[in-house]
Structure 1
Amino acid sequence: MVTFIPLVLFYLHAALCTKTLDDGFCSSNNECPKRSILPRYVLYDVNEPEGFNLKRDVYIRMATFMKKLSKEGDWHLVLPPWYNLFHWRSLESETGPQNHVSWEHFFHIASLQSFVPVVEYIDFVHEVNSEPIDFVFVLQHISTNFEQVSEWKDGWSIEPCHKETSINYKKYENIFKIKVLGYNNVTAKEIECVSFHGESNLLAEIVKNYKSRSILIHHAEVALHNNFGDALYWQCRRSMRFAPYLVKISAEFREKYLNSTDSIDKTEMPDDWRLEKPGRKAVGGPYLAVHLRRRDFLWGRPRDTPSIKGAVKQIKNKLVELDLDTVFVATDAPEEEYVELKSYLVGFKVFHYIPTPSEKRKIKDGGVAIVDQIICSHARFFIGSFESTFSFRIQEEREILGFKKKTTFNRFCGDQQKDCVQPTQWTIVY
């Protein structure tokens, strides 16, 4: 029988030793040698409807928090698998299953690990022998009347769960089983709802208060950034290198269609992000790149989203200004809208990344989006979409590559928009 309550649970934990040290768990049931402490884990989850690029942002919040926590013990951050995102619209016959996709499919794990200890979810399951996790903490916003609050203070407290955190679950003796992270058999021993307001560093207080080997933070998006845009933020962001095979696909496309290579474009980077040096020497390939967001932006941000003809006018003007004849288009628009856009750009070369069937099955929808972002990040000039996290991630990549700010922080304007303010320049810090 399925019960509905305002709780969220999760899957894994490792059995506790009979004797523990103050800061960890022993590897032996009989002895606790000082250096035989088992690793401890923080898992996290994000509100299911959130998109790929917002979830990347939440990773930075958790990783910067874990960077400091890992100095106090053998803590590891468990990477939640990717599953059924809103923008992953392809049929399973085209991409294969898009549930339980690991991070190594999209990112360079060794590079992530050079910033903070991380482990894939499936590896974590094996490491703890599929045992339930010890504690699940469901973050929720503090319930209050915003108009009556004169000063917000950071803090957290264990409180009853709000109605909006309700979820169906089943209880078997002392173990809870729910559907989360794309799995139906996720289990946990304990669960608490936490009313939370503050930066992700505040999560350390929760973790330290509970002597557990494994803890899951659910709705991690509730925790805010720790000093967004500072040097630590950018260290984490720079460590988020894409999977090498996706970089290779992007490089081959750029060279074949856009006359663009890293050596010519001055976008060569060291293999290790920690060896990157500040500077704005990147020139980029001889093409304009645009990210034209459509679909939900047509009704969600109609004032800031141009028509196809309006976008074409802005693209033409910039191509003429830059003395370029080539544009690369990244868009979520239906194919017929892309064909319409291309038909208006007579006299210009227009490209759009379309993977082969075998390629698409290999890289999946998330990989297609990353290839788009890589190609856009290497262009001579970039125009993005207003308040799009997809565009924002490209701007970050261009900052890391070392482009001049004026070539990066640009956006499409609505057809009738008179006060089209350009994006805030969140520039890199070393």
Structure 2
Amino acid sequence: KRFSCLSVQGSASTLKPLLLGHSNCTAIMLDRAEVILHDIFGDPVYWEIRRSMRFASKLRDVADKFRREVLNSDDKRDDTVLEEDWKIVPNRTHYALGGPYLAVHLRRQDYVNSRPKDVPDLKWAAEQIRVLLKKHGLRKVFIATDAQDEEFKTLKTYLPEAVRFEPSNEVREQLKDGGLAIVDQWIAAHARFFVGSYESTFSFRIQEEREIMNFDPDTTFNRLCGNGQKTCTQPTRWRMAYAD
């Protein structure tokens, strides 16, 4: 067993010397490889590939049904209709509206201990959410979270208007954890205003979907602040890029 310590911030090419130095190995495990950026990340080619990737219609249908029935949201009213052909560039002269709800990705579990300065407790998260609801004139908030049931019940004592997608046992068995995560992402991506969690790839995927649907970046690139913080550094704005 051999281990090499390497701190990486940036593109995947940074790893090249390390990988070439272990060319005789049959397998190399990279912990947290999801934080490594592709060398062309964010350029027009990257975004063409990203726009071509669509979630399975079965998953979108489940999410859209929840949007209609619980959040009074549909693509036509929300101005979030996507062309069937991803190669058709959307109208960039105006921003998407989004459904009449706030969406929050509230990361819990390991984040509570690993990022204590940047992850609020439930009460402080609820206070920040309530400020945003009032600011944007919204009454409902969709919560995408890995919180346990008891934690979500506690959150609702501070924020009764909070809702989340709670599948039946049959749907849970059909979609599994990965499918349910995509349902949460799709619902959150269609909100009037989105707030994510600090350095979360789950939040980042939602931000990408919102870029593809052409939301105002001010409604997309936001995050909850740590306990006691009313302002904090917001996420980097990775904007859509198109070929000339």
TM-score bracket, shorter-length normalisation: 0.7 to 0.9
Matches of 1:232 and 1:276, distance apart in 2: 14
**Partner SS state of residue 290, structure 1:** strand
2:158 aligns to what? Answer: 344
Residue type at the aligned position of 2:205? R
Question: Could you tell me which of 198, 203, 228 is aligned with 1:386?
Answer: 198
The residue aligned with 1:420 is 232
Match of 2:203, as an amino acid? S
Give the length in aligned residue pairs: 230
Structure 2 partner of 1:230: 43
**Aligned equivalents of 1:396 and 1:232: distance in 2?**
15
Out of 381, 394, 404, the position equivalent to 2:216 is 404
Q: C-alpha displacement at 1:224, in angstroms?
A: 4.9
4+ residue stretches of structure 1 with deviation over 6 A?
none
Question: Is 2:69 the partner of 1:256?
Answer: yes
Q: Quote the RMSD (CA, aligned, Å).
A: 2.6
TM-score normalised by structure 2 residue count: 0.86
Q: Structure 1's 224 and 318: CA in aligned 2 closer, same or farther, altered over 3 A? A: closer
Aligned position for 2:187: 375
CA contact (8 A) 2:126 2:155 kept: yes
Q: Which has the larger radius of gyration?
A: 1
TM-score normalised per structure 1: 0.50
Given the superposition, is the C-alpha separation of residues 224 and 415 from structure 1 closer, same or farther in structure 2, using an over 3 Å criterion?
closer
Q: CA deviation at 1:268?
A: 0.2
Contact 2:124 2:228 in 1 (8 A): no
Q: How does 1:13-92 map to 2 (within 5 A)?
A: none
Q: Do the aligned partners of 2:122 and 2:154 also contact (CA within 8 Å) in 1? A: yes
In 2: Cα distance, 1:232 partner to 1:252 partner: 33
Mark the runs of 5 or more structure 1 residues left unpaired by the alignment. 7-60, 62-139, 144-154, 162-190, 195-217
Q: Tell me, what secondary structure is at the counterpart of 2:184?
A: helix
Which structure has more RCO (C-alpha within 8 Å, separation ≥ 6)? Answer: 2
1:296 equivalent in structure 2: 110
Q: Does 1:318 align with 2:164?
A: no
Aligned partners of 2:174 and 2:230: how far apart in 1? 44
> CA separation in 2, counterparts of 1:391 and 1:290?
9
Measure, in 2, the Cα distance between the counterparts of 1:365 and 1:238: 24
Q: C-alpha displacement at 1:396, in angstroms? A: 0.4
Higher strand share: 1
As a proportion of its length, which structure holds more helix? 2
- C-alpha separation between the residues in 1 aligned to 2:76 and 2:68? 11
Equivalent residue number for residue 242 of structure 1: 55
1:219 and 1:304, CA in 2 relative to 1: closer, same or farther beyond 3 A? closer
- Identical pairs, percent: 48
Q: Which residue of 2 aligns with 1:327?
A: 141
2:87 counterpart SS class:
helix
Shift of 1:157: 5.8
CA distance in 1 between counterparts of 2:96 and 2:178 reads: 26
- For 2:170, the aligned partner's letter is S
